Structure 1
Amino acid sequence: MLRLIRNLIVVVGLVLGVAFGFFNYDLVSIDLLWTTTEAPLVVLLVVAFVLGLAIAALVCVTKIARLRGQLSSTRRRLKDAQTEISNLRSMPIHDA
């Protein structure tokens, strides 16, 4: 049942995407700093979406890598602390 719902959502998304592309195929002028060009609006929207997705993925990957480094460091410190606690528990108690 879950697979059917997922497939239905994918098909509806594809149909909406094709309809969106069909109704937004007008040529628009885009002015970059060094040149001016004309392209279909749907192409420009897809390019902008893909660029945004790539930038977001790059930011997420760098954030995840930094967090994994912190996690590794924290695990190493926890292991050292547990070893120290184990060593302290095995020492005899001396009253002064």
Structure 2
Amino acid sequence: MSKIEDIVDALENKISKILHKQEALKQANIKLSNEIEQQQLKLKKQEEEIADWVDKHNTLKMANSILGSDENKRETKLKINALIRDIDHCIGQLSE
């Protein structure tokens, strides 16, 4: 009879260890999920920041072009011509 009791005790110990390990893994999973969420928020914030800086850079390039910088004159002329064409198109539609 003691062999059966020993086997049952061994099974209980193994089950207990497995349950403890499962709980530890659940806690680790929760912790990692929280870290992923925080990293995703951080990444989103950084992407928004990058978009802001790109917009500021483009605005600065345009301002430098308008102020007479030779570096981006062609690009500025093309944008101004595109705006003039849009305005002409709008005037044409209004006159119809």
TM over 0.5: yes
Report deviation, 1:27. Answer: 1.5
Counterparts in 2 of 1:68 and 1:25: CA distance versus 1, 3 Å? farther
Pick from 67, 71, 74: which aligns with 1:93? 67
Report deviation, 1:94. Answer: 5.8
Letter in 1 for 2:33: V
Which residue of structure 2 lines up, in the alignment, with residue 78 of structure 1? 50
Q: Which runs of 5+ in 2 are unaligned?
A: 1-5, 70-96
Asked which structure has the greater RCO (Cα within 8 Å, sep 6+), the reply is 1
**Is the Cα–Cα contact under 8 Å of residues 25 and 41 in structure 1 kept in the other structure?**
no
Report deviation, 1:26. Answer: 5.1
Computing the radius of gyration over CA atoms, which structure comes out larger, 1 or 2? 2
Q: Which has the higher strand share?
A: 1
Question: Helix, strand or coil for the counterpart of 1:27?
Answer: helix
CA deviation digits over 1:32-91, x for unaligned, max 9?
xxxxxxx71110011011001100000000011011101100100100110110011011
What TM-score comes out, normalization by structure 2 length? Answer: 0.57
Tell me whether 1:63 sits opposite 2:35 in the alignment.
yes
Question: Helix, strand or coil for the counterpart of 2:51?
Answer: helix
Letter in 2 for 1:48: H
Counterparts in 2 of 1:27 and 1:87: CA distance versus 1, 3 Å? same
How far apart are the structure 2 equivalents of 1:90 and 1:56? 51
**Identity of aligned pairs, percent?**
10
In the alignment of these two chains, the number of paired residues is 62
Letter in 1 for 2:50: L
